[in-house]
A = this chain, B = another copy of it.
Amino acid sequence: MSNYCFGVDIGGTSIKIGIFDKIGELLEHWEIPTRKENGGENVLPDVWQAIQKKMEERGIRKEEILGIGLDAPGPVSEDGIIYGCVNMGWGTFHLVEAFQKISGVSLIKACNDAKVAALGEYWKGPCQGCGSMVMVTLGTGVGGGVILDGRIWMGANGAAGEIGHLTMLSNEEESCNCGKKGCLEQIASATGIVRIAKKFLAQQDTPSTLRNLPELTAKDVLDTAKEGDGLALEIVEYVCKYLGMALANVCCVVDVNRIIIGGGVSKAGEFLLEKIKKNFNMYAFHSCRETEISIASLGNLAGIYGCVKMVLEEIEKGA
């Protein structure tokens, strides 16, 4: 009898699902759209339907499912309560119990998406078994996960790894989505990069290709900087200054073995990485200066890997 696990990465636009064997090898992965209407009431039933369809296709019986791991872009407690998820229109509810009820599968694990992505990268990425790691996810927002002794460190309130909400600018006047002012997310997320770019464009009258673009995106800023546009380069340097400083500060607290940069913005690759490293080196405490920083390797599959790792860890604990 073979056994299977499913990893389900619930995002605001699509839901990524992966089927894994019992030793954690990914067999197949696919996506379904996220139906957010009516407070996201269809999301979990849609997930279970998609899993059932795959089980039928492969002739898998329910008893052969070891467990299912879920993640979502919101704060999730260790026992699986999600404290609201704006993207999905979800309020606070017991995500694990809800999905147990829908699926009839008893081993369900749930966690915040950025934390789970960090676990996935730790498990299958280049820092496999390195001991401790921080992953920062530069997407629409800035998320993060802290892995200590190979496990997700949740923190007392599930807020460990909220690197996007490190206060970096003490004189910022605009508010972050979290309600505070001067958060890293306001500088280094995709929306943050655009915000900073607009500020630079308004404050200076240097000519720049960026001025000709109808609707500015973070990718535009990074691509234009790569092409050598002076103002775009200045913007990217500014973003990387605070990103490097934030990561150096993270190391003063937990001093991890590795740092991983993920999320859409990280697709700028070596160009971005080299600037982050330069600034990290400048702001890091001397004994952490050599900490390795690299770009995430699993792309948008980190979530489903991390979800399944949670399930396998739970099985190991029980064994």
Q: Closest chain B residue to A163 by CB distance? A: B252
Cβ–Cβ contact A285 & B158, under 8 A: no
Cβ–Cβ contact B75 & A167, under 8 A: no
Name the interface size band of chain A.
Answer: 35 or more
Complex contacts, A146 vs chain B, CB 8 Å? 253-254
Most buried by B among A155, A179, A250: A155
Q: Does A197 contact B (CB under 8 A)?
A: no
Flag the segment in A31-39, A86-94, A229-237, A286-294 that touches B.
A286-294
**Closest approach, in angstroms, between the C-beta of A182 and any C-beta of chain B?**
8
Cβ–Cβ contact A249 & B285, under 8 A: no
User: Which A136-190 residues sit within 8 Å CB-CB of chain B?
Assistant: 146, 148, 153-163, 165-167, 170, 178-180
Given contacts A148-B148, A245-B167, contact A157 B287 (CB under 8 A): yes
Contact of A156 among B83, B156, B248, B256 (CB under 8 A): B256
Contact of A159 among B134, B155, B159, B288 (CB under 8 A): B288
Complex contacts, A253 vs chain B, CB 8 Å? 134, 146, 160-161, 163, 166, 249-250, 253-254
Given contacts A167-B245, A249-B166, A249-B167, contact A254 B155 (CB under 8 A): yes
Q: With the chains together, A166 CA to B288 CA distance in Å? A: 12
Q: With the chains together, A132 CA to B158 CA distance in Å? A: 13
Complex contacts, A250 vs chain B, CB 8 Å? 253
**Closest approach, in angstroms, between the C-beta of A55 and any C-beta of chain B?**
37
Cβ–Cβ contact B252 & A254, under 8 A: no
Contact of A165 among B75, B156, B159, B252 (CB under 8 A): B252
Copies held by the complex: 2
Q: Does A131 contact B (CB under 8 A)?
A: yes
Contact with B along A267-287 (1 / 0, CB 8 A): 000000000000000110111
Cβ–Cβ contact B163 & A257, under 8 A: no
Complex contacts, A287 vs chain B, CB 8 Å? 75, 83, 157-159, 162
Q: With the chains together, A156 CA to B163 CA distance in Å? A: 19
Cβ–Cβ contact A155 & B255, under 8 A: yes
Complex contacts, A285 vs chain B, CB 8 Å? 159, 162, 165, 178, 180
**Closest approach, in angstroms, between the C-beta of A123 and any C-beta of chain B?**
18
Q: Does A251 contact B (CB under 8 A)?
A: yes
Cβ–Cβ contact B286 & A156, under 8 A: no
Cβ–Cβ contact A158 & B255, under 8 A: yes
Complex contacts, A83 vs chain B, CB 8 Å? 287
Contact of A255 among B160, B245, B249, B251 (CB under 8 A): B160
Question: Can you list 28 A-B contacts with CB-CB less than 8 angstroms, sorted by A residue number?
Answer: A131-B156, A134-B253, A146-B254, A148-B153, A153-B254, A154-B255, A155-B256, A156-B255, A156-B256, A156-B288, A157-B255, A157-B291, A158-B255, A159-B252, A159-B288, A161-B252, A162-B255, A165-B285, A166-B249, A166-B252, A166-B253, A167-B249, A167-B283, A170-B241, A178-B285, A249-B249, A250-B253, A253-B254
**Besides A156-B291, A159-B251, A180-B283, 5 other CB < 8 A contacts?**
A159-B252, A161-B253, A166-B253, A167-B248, A179-B286
